[in-house]
Structure 1
């Protein structure tokens, strides 16, 4: 039985089907169930009762259809998740799921008509469980001003936080990704989406990177002294590759801290690799010559060709998290993951799967041949002191104890 705290809206134009859905939801423990016959009526219901956790929605109807309704409500954060109830062909439902996901809504799955209790119950349980493992999608992001970001950088409030990367077979922590978090004195932890566009626009990316590296190199030595040899992965923008001072600056930081380049990985988003000029290619090559690893981040989310992947000196692929999130609803994602693993093996590149949040996803990607992963199931982004304490606790209690329902820091400013 699900929690009665779930608020559900049934959007169905067929009166009998709507009645069946409402009764099944109440039988499953959802005491707050609202109903509407069309999109306009559904909007009126939400205006009266407020936001809901779930909409059980048929995409195809007269007037304001399901997609049109969801496009309107997502702008105001009135709906968190969607179950598609439809008799449309599978390929049309698949396209509908992709559109809904792009709207920022979680698609729990699809149920066919007539609606059955055994099809609906696991999807509701999935929604109930996800309430404790991941936050609702942010409604909007307010971009910080240049003065605010500049002051935050000067006061060192934009800090390096660390998220573990795992060997999925052994549970061993094989590295960490270095992330930026703005620790605001009043707002708490501000989302990177609120300040990173400003950092990029104002040309402060190098300043941020070098500050992160100095902090991370200190942490690397502290971790090494405790027996943890952590590879540190930094996000690098393709425009930074054009700077002739990039490689010398990285060399100076490594020399200052007495750390080998083999301890570093630089991640570049796939979308920025479509056109890489010769100057950038030289920088990539020199990073590899320093011993650094190079990773294609968010692979599968951009548009770079396989030819570019073969041309550039990368040795790691980080598969975009959306493939894992869509495993249950989209069978093609399984093929995409296994094909990427095979591609990596053929090219001599390791593959890291991002976005693993549940034990079921962990088992699924292992079965598809994945060896390395990252996600809230294993560890949240944390400050350096928290990371060292967390590593010590894992050592004392055993690596498998870390594979528990993940959690993440609450990001303000969304």
Structure 2
């Protein structure tokens, strides 16, 4: 687990922005310096788990700092940054590894600052661990915890269950478009559980609607204070069985109005459940939401009940491709042809297209070649806590402005 980090950046504002983001990502102590000499002294006298090094500092170069790290016997991992040509950054990375340093990432400045967010999330993943069974929790035969309805209701009521935000970017420009809310459970013993560990229990307890409401609350809270200029659009996943009611749809519209949030900043992503028999009432609810100004998506098209018949029946404004379909298209030419046909169909109906599970440059290139509008996945960043996402958006905004100023 990373507890102590040191950032050196000759631009003080950038250094403090990175440090703030890293603290939000779960690193308790992050120190910042602009001085190469100060960095060397700190490495020699204090233990760090992570060192973020701007190799462009003038009085002590990054190569000298790498030497200082190695010679001090520091076990810290390194993140190297530079505004110099890529070959220089790569040379510094190769040198560090040749000297036995552990290099976590090498980041070009400033146009790929979002990579810093991904790196910070990778650092924070060390915090993920499971709590031992407690009252109200039993282990199933598969080893996954089974939670009682009472425990889940308490977690929802006390806001232990919150949202992580996985960024979405424009496929063509890379600009931040928004994020998908993913439930997570922060336990009182300072551990947290991912959604996969408790969503089956939520469904079994009949608390899906309560969980959706909790995610809507998180979305409206963030949209209420996040800088309007960011223009981010947040996606909340809703089971079709929950959304299949005009009364429920109007409730969402009423909540947005009370919160003072424009409807077009929210995407309601209808999950692949409910069966074909709910499609008629689902169509009415989605039509109502569309008339109120919301975006509505069919989630993971082609899986479960997210079928072609539902697409034709329900007036969705967005079609979302899941990670499984992307994986199949990546590995199988026939699956790729089918996916291209689906995307062409959606584009003919003026629908927005989002691809999830984009985990590398190859996936991003595939999504771009197929004409998708937006992408989501580890290629951009993992899901992150609310404040980390706010800082992530701020870093990208700052980097874009720097790039615009510098040409």
TM-score range, shorter chain: 0.5 to 0.7
1:323 corresponds in structure 2 to 325
Contact 1:160 1:178 in 2 (8 A): yes
**d(CA) in 2 for partners of 1:298, 1:349:** 15
Contact 1:178 1:235 in 2 (8 A): yes
Matched, 1:147 2:153: no
Contact 2:301 2:307 in 1 (8 A): no
**d(CA) in 2 for partners of 1:273, 1:399:** 47
Q: Displacement, 1:304?
A: 4.8
Q: Displacement, 1:244?
A: 5.6
Matching residue within 178, 183, 192 for 1:180: 183
**d(CA) in 1 for partners of 2:307, 2:180:** 25
Q: After the TM superposition, which residues 252-267 of structure 1 pair with which residues of structure 2 at under 5 Å, given as runs?
A: 252-267=254-269
Matching residue within 219, 229, 247 for 2:222: 219
Matched, 1:204 2:188: no
Relative to structure 1, is the Cα distance of residues 280 and 301 closer, same or farther in structure 2, using a 3 angstrom cutoff?
A: closer
1:193 corresponds in structure 2 to 196
Matched, 1:341 2:305: no
Contact 1:178 1:233 in 2 (8 A): yes
Matching residue within 162, 171, 185 for 1:159: 162
Secondary structure of 1:363 counterpart: helix
- Please list every run of 5 or more consecutive structure 1 residues that lacks an aligned counterpart in the other structure: 1-131, 402-414
2:68 corresponds in structure 1 to none
Relative to structure 1, is the Cα distance of residues 262 and 273 closer, same or farther in structure 2, using a 3 angstrom cutoff?
A: farther
2:53 corresponds in structure 1 to none
Q: Displacement, 1:387?
A: 0.8
**d(CA) in 2 for partners of 1:372, 1:241:** 24
Q: Displacement, 1:243?
A: 4.7
Matching residue within 357, 366, 370 for 1:364: 366
Secondary structure of 2:251 counterpart: helix
Relative to structure 1, is the Cα distance of residues 255 and 202 closer, same or farther in structure 2, using a 3 angstrom cutoff?
A: same
Q: After the TM superposition, which residues 386-405 of structure 1 pair with which residues of structure 2 at under 5 Å, given as runs?
A: 386-398=388-400
Contact 1:164 1:379 in 2 (8 A): yes
Relative to structure 1, is the Cα distance of residues 273 and 373 closer, same or farther in structure 2, using a 3 angstrom cutoff?
A: farther
**d(CA) in 2 for partners of 1:349, 1:248:** 23
2:378 corresponds in structure 1 to 376
2:109 corresponds in structure 1 to none
Secondary structure of 2:331 counterpart: coil
Contact 1:271 1:302 in 2 (8 A): yes
1:282 corresponds in structure 2 to 284
Contact 1:271 1:301 in 2 (8 A): no
Superimposed CA distance per residue, residues 136-189 of structure 1 (whole angstroms, 9 cap, x where no aligned partner): xx9853332323322212221000221111111111111211121111233722
Superimposed CA distance per residue, residues 296-355 of structure 1 (whole angstroms, 9 cap, x where no aligned partner): 111122355423312211111111211222344322232122112101111221111110
Moved more, 140-149 or 342-351: 140-149
Moved more, 279-288 or 195-204: 195-204
Secondary structure of 1:162 counterpart: strand
Relative to structure 1, is the Cα distance of residues 243 and 323 closer, same or farther in structure 2, using a 3 angstrom cutoff?
A: closer
Relative to structure 1, is the Cα distance of residues 189 and 232 closer, same or farther in structure 2, using a 3 angstrom cutoff?
A: same
Contact 2:179 2:233 in 1 (8 A): yes
TM-score norm. by structure 2 comes to 0.60
Q: Displacement, 1:221?
A: 2.9
**d(CA) in 1 for partners of 2:285, 2:253:** 12
**d(CA) in 1 for partners of 2:323, 2:401:** 23
2:24 corresponds in structure 1 to none
Contact 2:148 2:205 in 1 (8 A): no
